[in-house]
C-alpha cells in the first residue's frame, strides 16, 4: 500500500457541532474579533471526499516518538522549526494540534495545516515562520479551550476541528467523535503513563503511541507489561478505545481479563508488525472487544462482543 503523496499530516477528524451546543461556542464579541483579524485567512471548507477519510484504514502508521523531533519546513523548503509535540484528545484519539518549536517558542498550529512528506522525513507547514509564531503556548495553556481553537484554526484559514462541512455523514453511532475535545493531552505526557486494571492493579505502561498521520488520530497505545503474568519484555498494541484515561489524567485503565492479556500477541520493540494491514488491525481490535478504529463505535458492551479466543499473529 503506497502512502498518499505528501498526504495531509494528522488531518483532524471532521466534527459535527450539535445545535444544542452551538450557543455555547464562541462569544459573539470574540467571534467578531476573529473576523476582523487582518492576518486570518478566509475559511476554507473542503468536502470530506477531498481529504483523507477518518472512515478508512490507515495507509501508513508512524510511532509518535519518531514524529516528534522531525523538521518542519515551509513550502519553499526552509526550516522553520521542529515538531515538539502532538495534542491529543485522549477520549477519541483525534490529534487536535501540532506543537512546533520555533525561535525558542512553542507554537500552536492545526494539524490540518501540516503535512508529512511521502518519505516521512520531515513536515511541510502551510505558512511561514512569522505566521507560525503567532500563537504560542506554555505549560499552563488550556488546550481544550474552544475560543483558542476558533482563533488558531481561523488564523490558518480553517474552520474549527469540530465543524463538519458535511453534516449528513454524522450517524448517531458516531456522535462521540463529533464534539469539541475535553481531555486534551500532550502525546509526550501520555507516553510513560501507567496502565492499571479496574481493581487498581498495575499492568504496565504506555511506551509509545501508534499514529495514523494522514487522518490525524492515535489508533493504538503501545504497552509494555513488565513481566506481568510472565508476558516478558514484548510490546503490545492495544486499541486506544480500550484505554480510558482516569479522571485525574494520571493513568490509563484497561478493563481486559488477565488471561486475555497473558494470551495476547506481542512483538519485539525493534520489529513492529504492519499496523496498516487492515486484517491485522481488524483482528487486533476484535481481540480487545473493539471495532476497528475506522468504523463507528457501536452501542454493545465490550464484554458482550464476539471476541476471538486467540490473539492475531503479526502479518
Q: Say what the pLDDT of residue 40 is.
A: 62
The answer to whether residue 6 sits within a structural domain is: no
The residue-averaged pLDDT of 215-232 equals: 83
The answer to whether residue 1 sits within a structural domain is: no
Pair 211, 171 in one domain:
no
Pair 115, 231 in one domain:
no
Residue after which a domain boundary falls, among 177, 209, 233: 177
The answer to whether residue 296 sits within a structural domain is: yes
The residue-averaged pLDDT of 65-75 equals: 97
Contact 58, 275 (CB under 8 A): yes
The residue-averaged pLDDT of 98-114 equals: 94
The answer to whether residue 10 sits within a structural domain is: no
Q: How far apart are CA 288 and CA 132, in angstroms?
A: 40
Pair 28, 169 in one domain:
yes
Q: Which band of pLDDT confidence, cut at 50, 70 and 90, is reported for residue 233? A: confident
Contacts of 214 (CB under 8 A, 6+ apart): 3, 4, 7, 8, 9, 10, 11, 52, 58, 59, 60, 116
Residue after which a domain boundary falls, among 177, 196, 216: 177
Q: Hey, what's the cell of 2?
A: 503506497
Pair 169, 266 in one domain:
no
Q: How far apart are CA 90 and CA 100, in angstroms?
A: 20
Pair 287, 195 in one domain:
yes
Q: What is the pLDDT of residues 146-155, one digit of tens each?
A: 999 999 999 9
The answer to whether residue 297 sits within a structural domain is: yes
Pair 44, 76 in one domain:
yes
Pair 162, 203 in one domain:
no
Q: pTM of the entire structure?
A: 0.80
The answer to whether residue 3 sits within a structural domain is: no
What sign does the CA torsion over 209, 210, 216, 219 have?
Answer: negative
Q: Say what the pLDDT of residue 183 is.
A: 92
The answer to whether residue 309 sits within a structural domain is: no
Which three-class secondary structure state does DSSP give residue 237? Answer: strand
The answer to whether residue 294 sits within a structural domain is: yes
Which three-class secondary structure state does DSSP give residue 63? Answer: strand
Sole residue written with cell 478493563: 255
- pLDDT higher than threshold 70 for residue 192: yes
Which three-class secondary structure state does DSSP give residue 106? Answer: strand
Ranges of beta strands (E only) in the chain are 62-63, 71-73, 79-89, 95-102, 105-110, 114-116, 123-125, 184-186, 194-196, 202-212, 217-224, 235-239, 243-245, 251-254
The residue-averaged pLDDT of 76-98 equals: 95
Q: What is the pLDDT of residues 244-302, one digit of tens each?
A: 999 999 999 999 988 888 888 899 999 999 999 999 999 999 999 999 998 866 533 44
- pLDDT higher than threshold 50 for residue 76: yes
Q: What is the pLDDT of residues 146-180, one digit of tens each?
A: 999 999 999 999 888 887 655 555 554 455 566 78
Give the mean pLDDT of the chain.
Answer: 80
Q: Say what the pLDDT of residue 14 is.
A: 37
Pair 115, 232 in one domain:
no
Pair 166, 201 in one domain:
no
Q: Which band of pLDDT confidence, cut at 50, 70 and 90, is reported for residue 52? A: very low
Q: How far apart are CA 47 and CA 165, in angstroms?
A: 7
The range of the structural domain enclosing residue 135 comes to 19-177
Q: Say what the pLDDT of residue 175 is.
A: 55
Residue after which a domain boundary falls, among 177, 207, 227: 177
Pair 28, 132 in one domain:
yes
CATH (domain of 130):
2.30.30.240
Q: Say what the pLDDT of residue 106 is.
A: 97
Q: Which band of pLDDT confidence, cut at 50, 70 and 90, is reported for residue 241? A: very high
Q: Residue 281: enclosing H or E segment and its boundaries?
A: helix 278-287
Pair 49, 171 in one domain:
yes
Looking at the structure of the chain, the number of domains it has is 2
Pair 23, 163 in one domain:
yes
Amino acid at each position: 500500500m503506497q502512502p498518499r503523496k505528501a498526504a495531509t499530516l494528522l488531518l483532524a477528524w471532521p466534527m459535527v457541532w450539535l445545535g444544542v451546543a452551538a450557543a455555547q461556542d464562541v462569544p459573539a464579541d470574540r467571534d467578531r474579533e476573529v473576523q476582523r483579524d487582518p492576518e486570518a485567512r478566509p475559511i476554507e471548507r473542503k468536502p470530506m471526499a477531498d481529504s483523507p477519510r477518518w472512515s478508512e484504514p490507515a495507509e501508513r502508521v508512524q510511532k509518535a516518538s519518531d514524529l516528534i523531533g522531525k523538521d518542519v519546513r515551509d513550502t519553499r523548503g526552509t526550516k522553520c522549526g521542529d515538531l515538539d509535540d502532538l495534542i491529543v484528545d485522549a477520549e477519541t484519539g483525534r490529534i487536535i494540534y501540532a506543537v512546533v518549536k520555533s525561535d525558542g517558542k512553542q507554537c500552536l498550529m492545526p494539524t490540518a495545516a501540516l503535512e508529512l512528506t511521502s518519505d516521512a522525513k520531515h513536515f511541510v507547514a502551510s505558512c511561514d515562520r512569522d505566521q507560525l509564531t503567532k500563537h504560542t503556548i506554555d505549560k499552563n495553556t488550556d488546550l481544550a479551550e474552544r475560543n483558542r481553537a476558533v482563533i488558531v484554526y481561523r488564523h490558518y484559514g480553517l474552520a474549527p476541528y469540530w465543524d463538519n462541512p458535511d453534516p449528513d455523514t454524522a450517524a448517531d453511532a458516531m456522535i462521540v467523535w463529533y464534539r469539541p475535545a475535553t481531555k486534551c493531552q500532550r502525546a509526550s505526557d501520555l507516553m510513560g503513563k501507567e496502565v492499571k486494571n479496574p481493581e487498581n492493579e498495575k499492568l504496565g505502561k504506555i511506551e509509545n503511541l501508534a499514529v495514523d498521520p494522514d487522518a490525524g488520530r492515535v489508533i493504538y497505545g503501545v504497552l509494555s507489561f513488565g513481566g506481568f503474568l510472565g508476558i516478558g519484555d514484548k510490546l503490545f498494541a492495544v486499541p486506544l478505545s480500550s484505554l480510558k484515561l482516569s479522571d485525574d489524567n494520571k493513568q490509563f485503565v484497561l478493563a481486559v481479563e488477565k488471561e486475555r492479556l497473558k494470551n495476547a500477541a506481542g512483538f519485539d520493540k525493534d520489529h513492529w508488525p504492519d499496523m496498516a494491514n487492515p486484517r491485522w488491525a481488524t483482528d487486533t481490535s476484535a481481540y480487545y472487544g473493539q471495532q476497528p478504529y475506522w468504523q463507528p463505535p457501536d452501542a454493545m458492551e465490550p464484554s458482550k462482543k464476539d471476541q476471538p479466543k486467540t490473539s492475531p499473529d503479526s502479518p
